[in-house]
Chains A and B, each alone.
Chain A
Amino acid sequence: MRQPLLLLLIYACGRDDVASPKDDAREDSAPPEGCDGLTWERDGLPEMLTWCAACHSSLIQPEDRAGAPLGVDLESVAGVRQHLDRVILRIEAGDMPPAGGVPEAKRARLLQWLRCGAPGDELVWPTTTPAEAPEESWDQEEAVVAGDEPDQVKIEAARLGWTEGLAFVEVWSVSPSEASLVSREVWDASGAWRSRISFEPPLTLWRAGQTDWSIVTERLTEDATGLTGVEEEWTVSLGPAIDVDPRSLEPNPEARFAGSSSGELLALHLGGQGQLIRRVYSGAFAVEGDELDMTHLGNTELFTSAEFQLPIDLKWRAKVMVR
């Protein structure tokens, strides 16, 4: 209920043809006392940066303005002067910044500077080049949607993640009943390819035990702590970066990972939107001394759609790198 009210306030204040009662008063009155020496750089800009410009900036994209009306830009002294009456009104009313929070002394000082007409010269900022977000892409060969009905859907897709200085691409197989890791390919920070591990059959990291999408969704939108791994035996094939004696890869009933590994999946933590928060194992995996620290695989968004709409709304931040 708060947001409509907020928007109402924003747009009510956003009308340039609406003059506040203060406008007339200010035109006829002398400048308030205490204006000498006030500057944008010292008295205005610090507070405007701290409390306003993160949203009210002409320099950022509309979608990053968090609802700040287009055109009401306060990152420059010219912008503040353009909307001076509105800014004073909103700060006096205490509804901007949205949750208050400006200490009274700072608020009073800012209002003093504003009531003095926002004096001062523009600050020269260094030239910057906005970052370009990495291109989000699907490798169509990796993303396969099979079937039309939700309970028939099976996704095979890859995602980029990172852990402890290593970048990796994982190929997953996700169905209503389980999520399984098919393969994991690892690069180091310099981009050099390190290894590839394939799981045959896929390493099932959780299993819902049923095929009802609603239950799967419920599991994904709640903390799934306590989900245990399933008892399976796997074989592991390794890429050429690691030379392993095949005899060391015999299934080991005491471990969740074949070979010399000792880890066991204990719990899978999923965030409110289905994002994978943490997978907890009993210990680090090790294959022939090359440790694969899988205790914290990061926060890659595994599922962002509670409805499991496929594939368009399944916003994996996936960037597939095919060697």
Chain B
Amino acid sequence: MIMACGVPAAERPSAPEAPTSAKPAAKAPGEGQLSATAWLTRASLDLRGVRPSASELAAVAADPAAAEALILGFVDDPRFADRAAWTWNDRLQTALNFKSTTLRGYQALSEAQKEAAGFAPLALVAWIVAEDQPVTALVTNTTLPLNDDLAAAFGLTAPGQGAAWVMSAHEDARPPAGLLASTSLWLVVDGDATNHNRRRANAVSTMFLCDDFLSREAAFDFDLSVEELAAMEEAVRTQPACLTCHAGLDPLAALFGGFAERSDQAELSRLTVYSPWRAEWALGWRAPAYFGRPVGNLSELGATMAADPRFGRCAARTLAEGLIGEPLDEALGPYHDALLSGGMSLRAVARAVVTSERYRRDDERALPIDALSSSLAQALGLSAEGETFMSLIWTLEHRRLGGGGDDHTAPDDVDQPGVGHALRDAWLARSVAALALTQDAEREPEARILWIAGAPYPTDEVNARQVLVRWHQRLLSEQVSQSDPSVDALWALWSAAGGAADPETAWTTCLEALLRHPMGRLY
């Protein structure tokens, strides 16, 4: 495994013979399930965004039965809120949109404002988890998260707490309805009056019911004449091939007329306005209804959606699939049951997921980009708000290297490891290795997390091996001995990269190599 990181050829172990410690240490072979320590690591990364501490790993190594209680405790960790929020980005796909748009209205926004606008819908998810509110708040809550950046971008009254999100009431006449009334969401999913907000209606169905009208096997065998095609608006109300979708879609679309249409030229201030005039106007197009249930406004739509069993099922599916990393389809039942029996709590879903056999299955998953960022920041003692880590999360290039096709269709990285991950990791390792070592060396000796007691950049083998053991634990969640083959390989790399003659380069090279270790991305 180290081979790819620059170990001299003569000392490289062949890939099939890579040290067993390169795998999470205590995997139980043959059972198809993660070991207790690997399970602990996976759950910690998924729920807290950081690797388990040395004491947690040691406790579970000594008593595997202790893992479950620790893991269930992770669900109540405040950091789970942020992780759950990013999980929802796979469904909402808002986070990076403002970074890539070329519309004139967004050009004046700062990068922080674009990030705030993209994250705002996800911040509601974070609040729901942090406060353990029922997930129905997604479409019913009377307030929405606002921070100073978003307020500046949208011309709202700043809550005055910097980047921190504060739940705030709407300042205009829009009916409160959770994300259904979110300016950010309806800027990302913009409207075009020529299509009567059907795009927004489909987004509602896709995001909150997990039912994309465009994925339906609708038979578009339009047996229509040219004249009939010209009268498309009439056709969607009468033609069977159209009605399968439009009978549900169009009455839903009638509720979104209050939000601005897409405009290539308009200032943002005109796009963020909710217009009661337009909303009223749109109601005259079709009688608004939610799949046969008349609703009068967005608030009623939210309340009705919250009662729809498809909503809860979709919410459970979003979180469960985000944590498990694969489509669940028929296997969703236990997690949906947990949501219902848990009072619509997402934490209840998370508990059911991380204690399930499916979650413990011994497979290799690529670390989600936000968890990669936060876990590395924690492991290296760097700020998660540092430029490198923020860049990792918020630049389209890194997203794409992580497997996403583009910011609109694949805003989050993919779960299966790929070559793009390796390229990204090479950049990441180069960016942070020297910085992390330098910063840690400047700390008081007892506060250092990468260096052991004594002087940093040690050159004697005993101390050096102790450092390498610590790095294994911090970066790979591995408990290895000083004589472990992987430690031997790193020690060889240290010598080849400068050794005692240039210890700074040697240690930086070693850390960079370990940061590029594939098992640091798989969990």
A residues contacting B by CB (< 8 A) are: 1-3, 6, 41-42, 45-46, 49-57, 59-61, 64, 66-67, 75, 97-103, 105, 123-126, 128-134, 136, 160-167, 187-191, 221-222, 271-273, 275, 277-278, 284, 291, 293, 295-296, 298-299, 317, 319
Contacts and interface: CB of A to CB of B under 8 A. Distances in A.
B293 A128 contact: yes
A66 B294 contact: no
A299 B196 contact: yes
Nearest to B302: A126
B295 interface: yes
B240 A98 contact: yes
A278 B194 contact: yes
Contact of A60 (B242, B254, B287): B287
Contact of A97 (B232, B244, B297, B313): B244
Interface stretch (B2-10, B127-135, B278-286, B381-389): B278-286
A49 B310 contact: yes
11 contacts: A46-B309, A50-B211, A57-B293, A100-B217, A100-B244, A126-B303, A162-B278, A189-B277, A189-B278, A221-B230, A319-B281
Given A46-B310, A56-B292, 6 more contacts: A50-B211, A101-B218, A130-B288, A187-B277, A189-B275, A317-B284
Contacts of A56: 292
A60 B251 CA distance: 10
B284 A133 contact: yes
A6 B238 CA distance: 11
B283 A50 contact: no
B414 to A, nearest CB: 24
Q: Which of A64, A67, A189 has the most CB of B within 10 A?
A: A189
B31 interface: no
Contact of B223 (A2, A41, A45): A2
A133 B291 contact: no
B194 A271 contact: yes
Contact of B294 (A52, A60, A134): A60
A123 B291 CA distance: 15
Interface string B459-499: 00000000000000000000000000000000000000000
A60 B275 contact: no
A14 to B, nearest CB: 16
**A-B pairs with the 10 shortest C-beta distances?**
A57-B292, A98-B240, A272-B230, A53-B292, A165-B273, A130-B294, A167-B277, A164-B270, A299-B193, A54-B248
Given A50-B310, A98-B240, A101-B216, A295 B294 contact: no
A60 B240 contact: no
Nearest to B252: A54
A124 B173 CA distance: 29
Nearest to B273: A165
Interface residues of B, number: 72
A55 B304 contact: no
Interface stretch (B80-88, B258-266, B417-425): B258-266
A129 B269 CA distance: 32
B300 interface: yes
Contacts of A165: 260, 269-271, 273, 275
Contacts of B193: 296, 298-299
A46 B210 CA distance: 12
Contact of B275 (A50, A75, A162, A284): A162
A59 B292 CA distance: 7
A41 to B, nearest CB: 5
A128 B304 contact: yes
A308 to B, nearest CB: 16
B300 A126 contact: yes
Nearest to B223: A2
Interface string B282-326: 011111110111111100100110111110010000000000000
Nearest to B174: A189
Contacts of A161: 281
A167 B467 CA distance: 68
A187 B234 CA distance: 31
Contact of B233 (A123, A134, A273, A319): A273
A128 B290 CA distance: 11
A37 B273 CA distance: 48
B172 interface: yes
A128 B263 contact: no
A54 to B, nearest CB: 4
B247 interface: yes
A275 B239 CA distance: 20
Contacts of B284: 133-134, 136, 317
Contacts of A41: 309
Given A99-B244, A164-B261, A55 B292 contact: yes
Contacts of A64: 251, 286-287, 289
B310 A3 contact: no
A189 B241 contact: no
Contacts of A221: 230
B331 interface: no
B276 interface: yes
Q: Which of A1, A55, A133 has the most CB of B within 10 A?
A: A133
A278 B287 CA distance: 25
A167 to B, nearest CB: 4
A241 to B, nearest CB: 17
Interface in B205-249: 211, 216-219, 223, 229-234, 237-244, 247-248
B274 interface: yes
Given A3-B238, A100-B217, A273-B231, A75 B292 contact: yes
A130 B288 CA distance: 8
Contacts of B269: 165
